[in-house]
Chain A
Amino acid sequence: MRTVSKRVFSLLAAALLAAPAFAADPIKIGVYGPFSGGSSPMGLSMRNGVRLAADEINAKGGVLGRKIELVDRDDQAVNERGAQVMQDLVSNEKVSAVLGPINTGVALASYKYPMEAKVPLLINVSAGAPVNELFKDYPDNYVFRLAAGDPIQAEMIVSEGVDKRKFKKVAVLCDDTNYGQNGRQKMEDALAARKVTPVYIGKFKIKDTDMTPQLQEARKAGAEAILTYGIGPELAQLANGMQKLGWKVPMIGSWTLSMSNFIDAAGPNGDGATMPQTFIQAGASTAKAKQFIADYQKKFTVERIPSAVAAAQGYDSMYVLAQAIEQAGGTEGPKIKASLEDLKKPYAGVIATWAKPFSKTDHEAIHREHVVMGVVGKGEVLPPAK
């Protein structure tokens, strides 16, 4: 018995002594999002974008001479699961920062854990999560976002429908999740600012397959366009339902109208759907963006990125984070946060060149000028007509 414990002790001692030899332990970065279910095109594209960036960074020697190690967790787009996953990342895995998530509800259920543990959370897809709103309750705010938030998107959707296309009667159709209902509120606000009241406000549930009642109601109310906030499969059922009823009005909605599962499941019925985009695969113009697309296609053997927006935001968020860690000179949360708020070196990303993307009072990297309206056509998202 004694010899055994002695042996264990000596092994432990050897392990402890040997530890400094691995001075460069990896920097752990948590990545969470839905890697299964209806939101998975966004989750997987985001994760792949992050992975692509992390692999490139590691190939060039990592950050501070240390390798980046991604710890990815599937939150299944379930709010409670998001909270569990985040606690695991922060408390057990002890990650230095977290990238993700996709779903608004998941973000709402999970942001307080990194906030309390002083671990920066750089949201790279979720549009509905609160970011700058959090300063009120948390002056020491650890939540950042590199994605077009709902206020920007709702404003652009309404502007497209009411200002540009001059529709007077619009119907609002959103799913009943936190995401859909936040978006509905923001769109109603943007409409109210233009003194327009939607002629019909309807909602639907995730996995609903028959949208006949909602569409009939919208048609009866005389809607000239429908404004949507939902995710791919149900949005496709809306487009298909319109075809069935023989009633086709323009669909303008949040960026999720660019999801592959909308485009595929709606087929030709989805053509013309218009949505705000930070990145459009078919519209890539810079060398950096083209390189990113080529690398993504090669690494993950796909032609069309399932959600190019999520992939590009994932990629840029990883680089911005790496740059902040480099500048911080360490992986302590407060230091990374301080560098994110004052990023010295501009980083030329695939969406834009990020020069000081965040400040002490503004944690939103994406502003109106980074977003354009994309249109579905020929099975992909096309850039706006010039």
Chain B
Amino acid sequence: MTDLLQLILSGVALGMIYALLAFGYNITFSTSRTINFAQGEFLMLGALTGLTAAVTWKLGYAGALFAAAIVGCLLGVVLEKAAIAPALKTRSAVSWILATVALGIIARNAAERIWGTDDARFPAPLGDDPLTFLGVRVLPQELLVIGAAALIMSGVELFRRKSIWGKAVTAVAADKDAAALMGINVPLVITFSFVLSSAIAAVSGVLVAPLTLAGATMGTLLGTKAYAVAIVGGLQSGLGVLVGGLLLGLSEQFTARYVSTGYKDTPGFVLLIFILLVKPSGLFGKKSIKKV
């Protein structure tokens, strides 16, 4: 029983990481119908910036989070201006994909130049000694990741639903032209969505690095898996990415434990293909009507 609980717990922690990154895809997709394929690399840049802030500049974990958030915001602005805005202007369906992928490669190469190619240990703010609940051992950092992810996601959802700014974002998501007619500055809202999504990615980097080690290649696989999560859950739905993340995290752990460690990633991706076949908009996605 404790074995099972232990497995569920580490699956949830893993799933929350995926969900948090996928949430970033969801934010930008809802406003601009584009996503940032460099999201995993932004997570990595956040983690490494945080590492420099926490270890080299001795600003502590809060300093690391803050530094990562700033870097994330800046990256978001650069990304939107350099890769997304030109593509939206020309209504090109592929150029933003290539541009964000390219930006990701640049980010990874730059990180290798600045921080080297090795994986470094990121000191965990609450220590490395596991806590015990009902015989289940859990690292404080895992709880922090689960808690912070839930907080960030519910915070953003609340903002989207309750605040005037959030409503502007929702309006742009629903109908850009109508939103523009209502006096909403659509390009600004889109830029804002990229800033928010990039900042979340960078902050997630600082959250997960104590569990995963920090290094220039840490984001690539996470970015891919988060993308699968976003597709499974539905790119349009905040709840969808949360469920998708948990589904993937738990399926990985359970397959590794009860089937074979070699097939760990299989169920998640089989599910991805299945969902694409039967419900392309994702588990919780609304059917999108493409207007030509």
Contact = CB atoms under 8 A, between A and B. Distances in A.
Interface in B1-59: 3, 6-7, 10, 13-14
Contact of B213 (A220, A260, A265): A265
Nearest to A41: B118
B6 A216 contact: yes
B262 A213 contact: no
A72 interface: no
A245 B6 contact: yes
B78 to A, nearest CB: 25
A209 B130 contact: no
Given A233-B213, A245-B6, A265-B213, A214 B256 contact: yes
Interface string B118-137: 11110000001010100001
B10 A212 contact: yes
A244 B130 contact: yes
Interface stretch (A60-68, A138-146, A197-205, A320-328): A197-205
Contacts of B213: 209, 233, 236-237, 265
B130 A213 contact: no
B221 interface: yes
A195 interface: no
Interface stretch (A32-40, A86-94, A340-348): A32-40
Contact of A203 (B6, B118, B216, B262): B262
A36 B119 CA distance: 11
Given A264-B120, A267-B121, A209 B7 contact: no
A261 B7 contact: no
B256 A213 contact: yes
A202 B261 contact: yes
Contacts of A245: 6, 130, 137
A37 B213 CA distance: 13
Contacts of B137: 244-246
B265 to A, nearest CB: 8
B253 interface: yes
Contacts of B254: 213
Interface string A241-266: 00111100000000000001100110
Contact of B7 (A176, A213, A244, A267): A213
B118 A210 contact: no
A155 interface: no
Nearest to B2: A216
A265 B121 CA distance: 5
Contact of B117 (A37, A207, A209): A37
A213 B6 CA distance: 9
A37 B217 CA distance: 7
A271 interface: no
Contacts of A269: 128
A310 to B, nearest CB: 14
Interface string B249-292: 00001101100011010000000000000000000000000000
A290 B216 CA distance: 34
A152 to B, nearest CB: 27
Interface in B137-183: 137-139
Chain A, interface SS category: helix
Contacts of A244: 130, 137-139
A36 B112 contact: yes
B212 interface: yes
B273 to A, nearest CB: 20
A217 interface: yes
Nearest to A44: B117
Contact of B128 (A38, A214, A243): A243
Which of A176, A205, A213, A243 lies at the interface centre, i.e. has the most chain B CB atoms within 10 A of its CB?
A213
B262 A176 contact: yes
B211 interface: yes
A207 B121 CA distance: 14
A233 B214 CA distance: 10
A204 B14 contact: no
Contacts of A216: 3, 6-7, 257
Nearest to B121: A265
B253 A210 contact: yes
Which of B7, B119, B264 lies at the interface centre, i.e. has the most chain A CB atoms within 10 A of its CB?
B119
Contacts of B211: 209-210
B119 A261 contact: yes
Given A36-B117, A176-B262, A243 B130 contact: yes
Contacts of A243: 128, 130
B14 to A, nearest CB: 6
B198 to A, nearest CB: 22
A159 to B, nearest CB: 26
B119 A213 contact: no
B119 A38 contact: yes
Interface string A210-250: 10111011001000000000001100110010011110000
A214 B253 contact: no
Given A212-B6, A213-B253, A265 B119 contact: yes
Contacts of B6: 212, 216, 245
Interface in A34-66: 35-38, 40-41
B128 A213 contact: no
A212 to B, nearest CB: 4
List 4 tightest A-B contacts by C-beta distance, closest first. Answer: A213-B257, A213-B256, A36-B117, A209-B212
Interface of A: 35-38, 40-41, 176, 202-205, 207, 209-210, 212-214, 216-217, 220, 232-233, 236-237, 240, 243-246, 260-261, 264-265, 267, 269
18 contacts: A202-B261, A207-B217, A207-B221, A212-B257, A213-B253, A214-B256, A216-B3, A216-B257, A232-B119, A236-B213, A237-B213, A243-B128, A243-B130, A244-B138, A246-B137, A264-B121, A265-B119, A267-B128
Interface of B: 3, 6-7, 10, 13-14, 112, 117-121, 128, 130, 132, 137-139, 211-213, 215-218, 221, 253-254, 256-257, 261-262, 264
Given A244-B130, A265-B121, 13 more contacts: A36-B112, A38-B217, A209-B211, A209-B213, A210-B13, A212-B257, A213-B253, A214-B261, A232-B119, A233-B215, A236-B213, A245-B130, A265-B120
